[in-house]
Structure 1
């Protein structure tokens, strides 16, 4: 039986390694922990130079980036709205979220939010590669999270049949 501990790392592509590392260090206080570079991809043996960097996202979580200069220019899936694919990081509480927004704006980052999601509030912004980032602070009660877990399978099943939003957790966005 597979027993997962946590994410080892989540990897995204970047346009410029140095700019990306400096941005995450300056804007989110993340520390560069590992840099790996090869001229050949270990898993495929393809001759494709890359730089792979790892940044500490706290509590053993790692956000990683690849710069791959011999590939076509980096883009995004034009069929997926920009709000869909994002990297969400948790902060301690609502005060920390508000302080993070102020700090980011003070560093010249355009920030949206806080947005209320019922059991957490979030702010949103983009890194220099165009990746959307979210900082989230949990605000829900244990009972609310238990109810969400209870109805999740029911919602997935209903969605699979109707492709319309089930109402089991509509209360999330009906609150202030």
Structure 2
């Protein structure tokens, strides 16, 4: 098997229209299409839904489902808010700062930029409570190669100890000193 790319990633939304408006206004995504049915095609379950598709650029599609007959959306209470998120890449640091200014002008609370040494990122939430990240790559090829080379050893050590593995601690040394 050879995966060509991710076709789409789908999340649940509280309100289809509000979600489309947020992503088109704040992230300049095009609203591609909507599908609505009384039954789920794969399972044949009776469960009316609205399925939305937004263009996240370069063939990447972000999708949402509004399922009004299901219990209200919730979050896994055992997973911290910062863990599950969608990250979108922007061209450069200037574009990242411009996006931050646009989001804040639209009333969106933004955290960052955060320097991860190989990327710089800002963070915010969509109206559904999904955490979003805008990021730009700042890594050199040598940095990425070093991280690639140490990844297996880090994973093996973590797997055995479940304790912080410091092989890549240089990534956030500056951020934690500030």
> Within 5 A, what are the aligned runs for 1:10-49?
10-49=9-48
Partner of 2:50: 51
Q: Does 1:79 align with 2:54?
A: no
Cα RMSD (Å) = 0.8
Partner of 1:148: 147
Partner of 2:95: 96
**Structure 1, unpaired ranges of 5+:** none
Structure 1: distance between partners of 2:152 and 2:117: 19
Partner of 2:127: 128
**Structure 2, unpaired ranges of 5+:** none
Listed one character per residue, the Cα deviations across residues 133-155 of structure 1 (whole Å, up to 9, x for unaligned) are: 00001101011011111111111
Q: Does 1:118 align with 2:117?
A: yes
1:175 to partner: Cα distance: 3.1
Partner of 2:8: 9
Question: How many equivalent residue pairs?
Answer: 175
TM-score (norm 1): 0.97
Structure 1: distance between partners of 2:133 and 2:144: 20
